[in-house]
Structure 1
Amino acid sequence: MDSVITWLRDPTAKEPPVLLLLGTERRLAWRAVERLREGLAGQDDLAYLRLDAAEVRPAEVVAHCQSLPMLAPRLVVVVEAVERWLPRQPNEANDEEHDGSATDPAHELFAYLEDPNPTTTLALVADKLDGRARLTKALKGCALCLECNPVERPDAIAWCTTMAREANVRLGRGVANLLVELLGTDLSRLETEVQRLALEVEEGGTVEMATAEAIAAAALPDAWAFVGHLAARDRPRALTTLHDLLTSGEPPIRLVGLIAWQLRQLLRARAGLDRGRPRPALAKELGLYGNRAGQLFQRATRFTEAELVAAHARLLQTDLELKGNHLDDRLTLEALIHDLCG
């Protein structure tokens, strides 16, 4: 099953007659619906209908789908919580509620799925469907099925790129990675941040790393300062700032993400310097200019490449420890600081 993000990134993707949006990540499902609505030529009131399966019967939905679109190229009918139409305990031997017969309350829907209206897109949204149910099998046999589950890092990065394209801007090298390091894989937060960054450049322009870092530093000044102290191997200030951040409620995992980002930048800078790359060319490759580039190079000289590789491995260990909840978060991060600044 393809991800909604893959479908959104394909500008040639057509609106299918039947679309099944399956999973618990609602932002993905509704972003797919938004794409369908974008094709209605501004006639949402006449060509878009949103229903709840708890309040409407399948036959009523089919009646809506058989209607002709008015002043729009097609009709979009969205039904939420389709799992409510399934029997509570479906199985191969006893699925009498949906047997497809004329007495089946979903009979009209089964018939419609075999021959859907080509000028309608029926989008069915569900957290989860029992694969044994006949309705589920019918849907998976005829619908375009898209996964809407919480995403991993690669898809979150792709999401940032897609949102930037829709805002008519581009993200410079590493910017999407930085956003995911800062915000995790929360799609709504990532989308909001991309939209914010898009306001900083002209339409069709590129959000460079320096712009993204400046805005991130303004939004998270203490966290950014903490990472700076760590990169400078200033253990006392790093520990003091860490304690202040944790006391104020800063999520430890976000701090790990920031450290990971900084270590990768330092490693790329250190490797480039060791290989004799000219600093201006290396700064351009990293998307940094002026004081930010000079500061990164200065910090990179405090480490050897081997130390940075080891530091990254140590950070991965910290990430696992925090997620495993075996030790106190403060002690875990303090141990990391002592190792990185030693």
Structure 2
Amino acid sequence: MNLSFVQWQTRGAWARDGAPLTVYGIWGDAWLQDRVISSLLETAVGEGERDFNFDQLDGENTKVADILAAVGNLPFLSDRRVVLVKRAERVEGLGRGDGDAPPKSKKKAATGASAATRLVGGLTSLPPTTVLILARTPESVEPGERAGERCLNAALDRTIDDVGALINCSVDPKNTSLVAGILESEAKLRGIKLERGAAAYMCNRCGTDIAFLLSEVEKCALRAGLSSPVTPAVIDEMTRPALGDTIFDLTDALGERNGGKAIATLRELLERGEAPERLMATVVSNLRQLMQARAFLDLNLPLDGSLARRLPPEIAEQLPKEGRDNLVQALGAQSWLARRLNTSARRFSSGQLRRALELALEADLAMKGIEGDGGFDSKNNSAATMEIFLARLCSSPA
């Protein structure tokens, strides 16, 4: 059974005589995944029974043998037990089928195939008292990218489809009706009034990350007040438009040394109300990721979810410890980012990226009034400082 989130809501999670299936594969948006998992848990195991009948594993530190051992246990004073595996694609490299580079040695290939084969065998012989939930690392889909179509890999997904259910929680950024509907229903549950069309307006303005949108709705509700609805005017005042593909358009223009295109893209962002300081921070963050991506490509390392396993320890120690600037962590949750960075990083050399960050530092200091003014009051004319930064970057040698 292969269902979208909407189909799952319509049909319900229980397909056989009101009883839960033995295995579920879930992937896509984080908030929708949590919604499905919570519903499965509530129906399969009572809250008071979970101390002895609910196991949660992390795929990063889990082997197939651990999963098979957990699902083989019998429930204690309950009809069923649940085993939840988060980041399931990381269990012994089971998600390599999603574009990960193939193992270089035959030994590694055999190990990966053996792990998948053993799990397939286990899924076909699960006890009826067990509910196994395999949840892929959540990811949001950026405009221009396609939502993922797999949970783990082709063989495992076929098995889950045969004996259980695959639930696709991905959100298509071109189709905001699902997200707008969720936003409206959640706002109603929270006692927040939305003007007609406000939910769709917020999706078009801020993107389709549901958890983020819900936090923005609550912020807008506080601004509107208890008795007033959230309107597009309030949304404009309290939120920022999603940058979407435009930042990548900007860095692509820089890689092409196309100063005219880069400055035109910058002006487009400024006209949309983006602050120059925020754009500078975003460009610098993107350049840092490109710097790491270029280094990984130079080392023949793949830009995908397997990077964390293949990264030499001496290289890992040099990376930012946490946050979006750590590319290894970012790639684990956002597969679309790997595709974009793979293309963008090849437009630059390491020397060009180092020079770009040096110029960014100079521009940042000028915007803060600490150094240089370029012949004008750069502290009070940040937009002009940004344009000069882009022009210098596009004209600088490799």
Instruction: Answer with 1 or 2: which has the greater Rg.
Output: 1
**TM-score of the two chains, using structure 2 as the length reference:** 0.43
